[in-house]
């Protein structure tokens, strides 16, 4: 419905009455037209203004709190920085070394005599003849230690090294030199084993001097070593090759010695393995015939 223009208030008629009888009449406020909404009882403009005022107030409060917090943080940071800068510098002085007071003289005790070693092995030795006595529980362990200390090839011992150890402990230098002469062991290896077992005893140098040197080996011994290598190269085992070489040197007219000579002369029988005669593999030598086994009473 459209709003209708309000009627103007009527000006009251003033009766000419005496001034004393005139009453003061209120002056009506000037007419101000207003537009009212269709829904009565709610002022839109008033609500909008009220909400706007409330929003501005909360924003101002929030900004104020943020400013206060930032200010407090800045003050705290500056104060902490000043506190660190004002920390006292502590210097630590190294203590001055002072000479210790001289100790009171102590009564000297009589020296205790060292126990005498009744073995033929030097005290410095870590392996003794009793350690490497065949049949001992720790025999193999001690032989391995000896091989390492003596720096034997590959850090291990052979049966020829065992013979050398046994003969050293028995004092049998003749058999030791025979092993050197025939190439079973090297002179340097024998001396190394001697050094481990007898160490630096006074008689050690005397025993060293009795060891056969490589230069003093006999022609027979060098020949035996050569034959041993050749026969093993043809396929014979170590023991069989040793027996054949002994027959060749000690009994050159024997059947075994003739077999060895045939092999050395090149009368080869082809190998059953690959048929290559250049490998110097002889069937009879490879099979190690019965007549080439060395007997104790052969000589």
Tell me, yes or no, whether 203 lies in a domain. yes
Both 240 and 212 in one domain: the answer is: no
Closest CA to 225 of 294, 160, 167, 291: 160
CA dihedral 33, 38, 41, 45 (to 10 degrees): -60
- The tally of domains found in the chain comes to 2
Tell me, yes or no, whether 90 lies in a domain. no
**Which structure tokens are listed for 208?**
């060293």
94-103 pLDDT, tens digit per residue, is: 555 555 555 5
Both 238 and 187 in one domain: the answer is: no
Average pLDDT (150-156) is 88
- Number of neighbouring beta carbons within 10 Å of residue 283: 14
Q: How far apart are CA 127 and CA 145, in angstroms?
A: 7
- pLDDT of 1 over the 50 cut: no
Tell me, yes or no, whether 112 lies in a domain. no
- Number of neighbouring beta carbons within 10 Å of residue 252: 12
15-46 pLDDT, tens digit per residue, is: 444 444 444 454 444 444 444 444 444 444 44
Tell me, yes or no, whether 25 lies in a domain. no
Which residue range(s) make up the domain with 178?
139-216
Mean pLDDT of the chain: 72
Both 225 and 203 in one domain: the answer is: no
Both 210 and 176 in one domain: the answer is: yes
Mark which of 155, 186, 216 sits at the end of a domain: 216
Tell me, yes or no, whether 74 lies in a domain. no
pTM comes to 0.49
């Amino acid at each position: 419905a459209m709003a209708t223009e309000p009627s103007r208030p009527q000006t009251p008629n003033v009766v000419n009455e005496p001034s004393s009888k005139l009453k003061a009449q209120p002056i009506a406020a000037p007419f101000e037209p207003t537009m009212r909404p269709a829904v009565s009882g709610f002022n839109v403009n008033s609500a909008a203004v009220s909400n706007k005022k409330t929003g501005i107030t909360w924003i101002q409060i929030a900004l104020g709190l943020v400013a206060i917090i930032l200010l407090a943080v800045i003050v705290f940071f500056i104060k902490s920085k000043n506190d660190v800068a004002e920390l006292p510098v502590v210097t630590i002085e190294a203590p001055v070394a002072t000479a210790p007071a001289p100790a009171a003289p102590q009564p000297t005790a009589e020296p205790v005599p060292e126990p005498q070693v009744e073995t033929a092995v030097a005290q410095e030795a870590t392996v003794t003849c009793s350690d490497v006595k065949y049949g001992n529980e720790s025999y193999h362990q001690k032989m391995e230690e000896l091989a390492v200390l003596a720096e034997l090839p590959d850090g291990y011992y052979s049966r020829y090294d065992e013979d050398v150890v046994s003969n050293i402990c028995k004092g049998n230098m003749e058999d030791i030199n025979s092993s050197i002469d025939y190439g079973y062991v090297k002179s340097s290896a024998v001396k190394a084993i001697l050094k481990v077992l007898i160490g630096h005893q006074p008689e050690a140098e005397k025993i060293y001097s009795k060891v056969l040197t490589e230069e003093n080996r006999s022609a027979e011994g060098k020949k035996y070593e050569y034959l041993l290598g050749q026969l093993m190269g043809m396929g014979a085992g170590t023991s069989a090759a040793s027996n054949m070489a002994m027959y060749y040197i000690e009994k050159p007219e024997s059947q075994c010695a003739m077999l060895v000579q045939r092999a050395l002369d090149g009368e080869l029988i082809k190998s059953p393995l690959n048929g290559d005669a250049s490998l110097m593999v002889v069937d009879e030598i490879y099979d190690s015939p019965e007549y080439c086994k060395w007997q104790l009473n052969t000589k």
